[in-house]
Chain A
Amino acid sequence: MPQLNPLDWAPQLIWLAITFGILYVLMLKIALPRIGSVIEKRAAKIAGDLGAAEKAKRDTEEALAGYEQALAEAKQKAHAIIEEGRAKLKAETDAERAKLEQELAAKSAEAAARIEKATEAAMKDINSVATDAAADIVRQLIGVAPSKADLEKAVTAARKA
């Protein structure tokens, strides 16, 4: 076995020390810091991105909550405005109606008065027409014109009956 030749040991060990030593220094000073920094950078970036995403999510939730609150407030306000408008409208309508009813009542009262007056006038006319007609009829029948007072009395009595 060539492995057991002591003459070959020294050159192997010397070069093992040299190559391993150089490799160790290269790894320690150059390669490992570079690899480590890249891995750390990536970890930091991922953590940062996750943090940003988390923050964005929180912002969104806050904005959503604000929006919902604003919406609820607006709804409430709209409701109040509607209620107010309705009440105002109702009051106006009521006032209008009352006024209209009053006017209508006045008009109808006036009309009733006019009708009364017209009826009275018509009645009076009827009396005079009836008196005239009765005077004519009496004159035709007996040839004598009755007195106006008698006629009126007779007509009034007849109409009352």
Chain B
Amino acid sequence: MHQFEIRRLIPLELFGFDASFTNSALFMAIAAAVITLAALFAMRNGSLIPGRMQSVVELSYQFVANMVRDNVGTEGMKYFPFIFTLFVFVLTLNMLGMVPYSFTVTSHIAVTFALAAFIFIGVTLIGFWKHGAGFLKFFVPSGVPFVMLPLLVVIEVISYLTRPVSLSVRLFANMMAGHTMLKVFGSFVVALGLLGGWAALAFMVAFTGLELLVAFLQAYVFAILTCIYLNDALHMH
């Protein structure tokens, strides 16, 4: 579990809170810098016929734009910058975590839960701001016998309240499990040596490929679930 440890690189204190610049903060800053520099470098010419870098940046832009448009509709495009930032930030953090000796920010429940809670609160506020108290009807399923309603409303509310938990745990658990697995098999390679280490090594190579896929997929799932929650708030199903 050494790879998940938080180390304080620059101890800091802010208003009585521990605001130390940690290895986690370092990788968040690296991610932000990498994203910004990559986008600016790729778009430096803004040519009509894109090069490789520009294609990648434009593709991710349109990927997220289509995701928002398909799942939320055109009025959701107001939140496109947020979803885009969320997607590329989580994706970059996941991918940076695949680099050996780096730190995976998203393998910490505190970070993923903070993101999920922010999204949950924001989406709920948007729902109430848009529909007023009518947003409460979201918890009342239509076409259900009256006697069933109390039970179903409770279920709906609970399922709504678990959204931030499932959203954050999904990302955190995937990232942590993958890295732990790699670590375990890495120790197998050392322990089995020349005799059987190659088998564990081969598994690690394949599993690293899978982990790259998971890193992308979890960022995608995080973003698309945000879109779906936003759609619920804006359109109530």
Q: Do A and B bind each other?
A: yes
Report whether A11 and B89 are in contact in the complex, using a CB–CB cutoff of 8 Å.
no
Given contacts A3-B176, A19-B28, A20-B85, contact A9 B36 (CB under 8 A): no
Give how many A-B residue pairs fall within 8 Å (CB-CB): 130
Report whether A27 and B84 are in contact in the complex, using a CB–CB cutoff of 8 Å.
yes
Stretch at the interface among B15-23, B196-204, B219-227: B15-23
Report whether B81 and A8 are in contact in the complex, using a CB–CB cutoff of 8 Å.
no
Decide if A143 is an interface residue (CB 8 Å cutoff): no
**8 A Cβ contacts from A1-41 to B:** 1-5, 7-20, 22-24, 26-28, 30-32, 34-39, 41
Docked CA distance A20–B36 (Å): 12
Report whether A16 and B8 are in contact in the complex, using a CB–CB cutoff of 8 Å.
no
Given contacts A23-B32, A23-B35, contact A39 B85 (CB under 8 A): no
Docked CA distance A13–B234 (Å): 28
Chain B residues positioned under 8 Å from A32 (CB to CB): 61, 80-81, 84
Docked CA distance A10–B18 (Å): 6
Chain A residues positioned under 8 Å from B82 (CB to CB): 24
Docked CA distance A18–B31 (Å): 12
Report whether B81 and A28 are in contact in the complex, using a CB–CB cutoff of 8 Å.
yes
Find the residue from A8, A9, A13, A45 having the highest chain B CB count within 10 A: A8
Docked CA distance A8–B114 (Å): 13
Decide if A42 is an interface residue (CB 8 Å cutoff): yes
Chain B residues positioned under 8 Å from A38 (CB to CB): 43, 46-48, 50, 54, 58
Report whether A31 and B22 are in contact in the complex, using a CB–CB cutoff of 8 Å.
no
For the residues of B in contact with A, the DSSP-based class is helix
* Residue in chain A with minimal CB distance to B81: A28
User: How many residues of chain A get a CB closer than 8 Å to chain B's CBs?
Assistant: 37
Report whether A27 and B48 are in contact in the complex, using a CB–CB cutoff of 8 Å.
no
Min distance, Cβ A101 to any Cβ of chain B, angstroms = 85
Report whether B58 and A35 are in contact in the complex, using a CB–CB cutoff of 8 Å.
yes
Decide if B160 is an interface residue (CB 8 Å cutoff): no
Chain B residues positioned under 8 Å from A30 (CB to CB): 36, 40
Docked CA distance A24–B5 (Å): 27
Given contacts A2-B5, A11-B8, A36-B61, contact A16 B18 (CB under 8 A): no
Docked CA distance A4–B6 (Å): 11
Report whether A24 and B110 are in contact in the complex, using a CB–CB cutoff of 8 Å.
no
Min distance, Cβ B192 to any Cβ of chain A, angstroms = 26
Min distance, Cβ A37 to any Cβ of chain B, angstroms = 7
Q: Which of A9, A42, A45 contacts B110 (CB 8 A)?
A: A9
Docked CA distance A45–B47 (Å): 12
Report whether A1 and B43 are in contact in the complex, using a CB–CB cutoff of 8 Å.
no
Min distance, Cβ A8 to any Cβ of chain B, angstroms = 4
Q: Provide 9 A-B residue pairs closer than 8 Å at the C-beta atoms, listed in order of the A residue.
A: A19-B31, A19-B32, A20-B28, A31-B39, A31-B40, A32-B84, A35-B61, A38-B58, A41-B46
Given contacts A12-B108, A24-B82, A30-B36, 18 further A-B contacts (CB under 8 A): A3-B108, A3-B176, A9-B110, A11-B20, A11-B25, A13-B114, A14-B14, A16-B28, A19-B29, A20-B115, A23-B85, A26-B32, A27-B88, A30-B40, A31-B36, A32-B81, A34-B40, A39-B58
Q: Which residues of chain B have a CB within 8 Å of any CB of chain A?
A: 1, 4-6, 8, 12, 14, 17-22, 24-25, 28-29, 31-32, 35-36, 39-40, 43, 46-48, 50, 54, 57-58, 61-62, 80-82, 84-85, 88-89, 105, 107-111, 114-115, 172, 176
Q: Which residues of chain A have a CB within 8 Å of any CB of chain B?
A: 1-5, 7-20, 22-24, 26-28, 30-32, 34-39, 41-42, 45
Report the 8 A-B pairs with minimum CB-CB distance, sorted nearest first: A15-B25, A19-B28, A31-B39, A8-B6, A23-B32, A9-B110, A28-B81, A38-B46
